[in-house]
């Protein structure tokens, strides 16, 4: 009698996978991802790996990045990667020099977010714990503790950023509505406030405008063009030396990027 053997790559008919198989597979990927740290240690840019982009194109693009960038930090792929990468770099830049003009301005804007949120009809009682997490991160020690070790606090900060985004969309809806394919209210309820929902450019614009920061994103995809950089909120970069939040985008995911001048 033949003993059952596991199918080889060629024998699997991908078109015939049952819903259960797909769900099991998705759960497996999710569980593996949950084992990874929320934020990884800093590493040299030449070690950056993405397994699904054609390797030749990819290494060409990494070579391009190397000209102006030195390193990266990756974050967990849980749908919160933009908010987590952004907040990490935001507070890291703040804590590098808390007495700089930029840092002081950032903290002032951060302090005021609770007032912005209550004016957008969020109940203070339900959001003030998260406001506290956010404000605590202006303290370097607390920020590192939360980012590396404490899922609850780190997710709390991610959530608070989602609320900042939501409040900005509500309060200045005329700026954003034209980019949406559904009513603003349902977009916010489905795509902004729940944890684990990826961002589109609209959310990035809202975060940039709410916190008055400049974000520069390097897009690393599988097309055979040069690495594409897109700056959001250039108007908030008052002089060329003021800090910019550099991020690295690969299809479906954001990590943090460090340029040579950082």
Partner 1 sequence: MDTVTKRLIKELKNLQHSPNEQIPELHPISDDNLLEWKAVILGQEDSCYKGGRFELAISVPKTYPIQPPKIRFVTKVCHPNVHFKTGEICLDLLKTEWSPAWTLQSACMAICLLLVQPEPSSPLNCDAANLLRCGDELGYKSLVQMYVNMYAKNN
User: In angstroms, what CA-CA distances link 41 with 72, 74, 220, 255?
Assistant: 9, 8, 21, 12
Q: What is the x/- site pattern for partner 1, positions 94-133, by CB under 8 A?
A: ----------------------------xx-xxx-xx---
If the CB atoms of residues 156 and 243 are measured against partner 1, the closer one turns out to be: 156
Residue 236 contacts by C-beta under 8 Å, 6 or more apart in sequence? 208, 212, 213, 214
Least CB distance from residue 170 to partner 1, whole Å? Answer: 12
Contact assessment for residue 249 and residue 218, using Cβ atoms and an 8 Å cutoff: yes
**How would you list the strands of the sheet with 215-219, edge to edge?**
43-44, 69-73, 253-259, 245-250, 215-219, 228-232
Strand-pair partners of 254:
249
DSSP classification of residue 107: H
Q: What is the x/- site pattern for partner 1, positions 193-232, by CB under 8 A?
A: xxxx------------------------------------
Least CB distance from residue 177 to partner 1, whole Å? Answer: 21
If the CB atoms of residues 72 and 130 are measured against partner 1, the closer one turns out to be: 130
Q: Can you give the C-alpha Rg of the chain in angstroms?
A: 20
Least CB distance from residue 28 to partner 1, whole Å? Answer: 19
Q: What is the dihedral of CA 119, 121, 127, 128, to 10 degrees?
A: 40
If the CB atoms of residues 162 and 253 are measured against partner 1, the closer one turns out to be: 162
Least CB distance from residue 163 to partner 1, whole Å? Answer: 7
If the CB atoms of residues 37 and 194 are measured against partner 1, the closer one turns out to be: 194
Q: What is the x/- site pattern for partner 1, positions 155-194, by CB under 8 A?
A: xx--x--xx-------------------------xx--xx
If the CB atoms of residues 203 and 246 are measured against partner 1, the closer one turns out to be: 203
Least CB distance from residue 132 to partner 1, whole Å? Answer: 9
If the CB atoms of residues 129 and 234 are measured against partner 1, the closer one turns out to be: 129
Least CB distance from residue 241 to partner 1, whole Å? Answer: 37
If the CB atoms of residues 163 and 245 are measured against partner 1, the closer one turns out to be: 163
* Count of residues that interact with partner 1, criterion CB under 8 A: 19
d(CA 18, CA 22) in angstroms, rounded, equals 6
DSSP classification of residue 12: -
Using CB atoms within 10 Å of the CB of residue 109, give its burial: 0 to 12 exposed, 13 to 18 middle, 19+ buried. Answer: middle
Q: What is the dihedral of CA 61, 64, 69, 75, to 10 degrees?
A: 0
Q: Where does this chain bind partner 1 (CB under 8 A)?
A: 122-123, 125-127, 129-130, 152, 155-156, 159, 162-163, 189-190, 193-196
């Amino acid at each position: 009698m033949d003993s059952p053997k596991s199918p080889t790559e060629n024998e699997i008919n991908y078109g015939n996978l049952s819903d259960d198989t797909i769900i099991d597979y998705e759960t497996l990927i999710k569980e593996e991802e949950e084992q990874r740290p929320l934020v990884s240690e800093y590493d040299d840019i030449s070690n950056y790996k993405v397994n699904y982009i054609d390797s030749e194109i990819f290494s060409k693009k990494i070579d391009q990045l190397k000209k102006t960038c030195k390193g990266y930090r990756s974050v967990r792929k849980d749908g919160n990667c933009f908010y987590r990468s952004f907040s990490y770099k935001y507070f890291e830049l703040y804590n590098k020099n808390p007495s700089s003009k930029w840092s002081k301005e950032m903290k002032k804007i951060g302090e005021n977010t609770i007032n912005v949120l209550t004016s957008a009809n969020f109940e203070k009682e339900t959001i003030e714990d998260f406001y506290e997490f956010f404000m605590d991160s202006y303290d370097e020690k607390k920020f590192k503790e939360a980012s590396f070790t404490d899922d609850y606090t780190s997710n709390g900060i991610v959530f608070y950023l989602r609320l900042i985004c939501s409040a900005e969309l509500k309060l200045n809806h005329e700026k954003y509505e034209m980019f949406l394919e559904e009513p603003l209210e349902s977009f916010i309820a489905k795509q902004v406030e729940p944890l684990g929902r990826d961002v589109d450019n609209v959310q990035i614009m809202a975060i940039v405008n709410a916190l008055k920061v400049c974000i520069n994103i390097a897009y690393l995809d599988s097309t055979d063009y040069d690495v594409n950089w897109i700056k959001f909120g250039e108007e908030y970069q008052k002089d060329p030396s003021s800090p910019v939040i550099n991020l690295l985008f690969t299809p479906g995911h954001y990590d943090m990027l460090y340029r040579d001048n950082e």
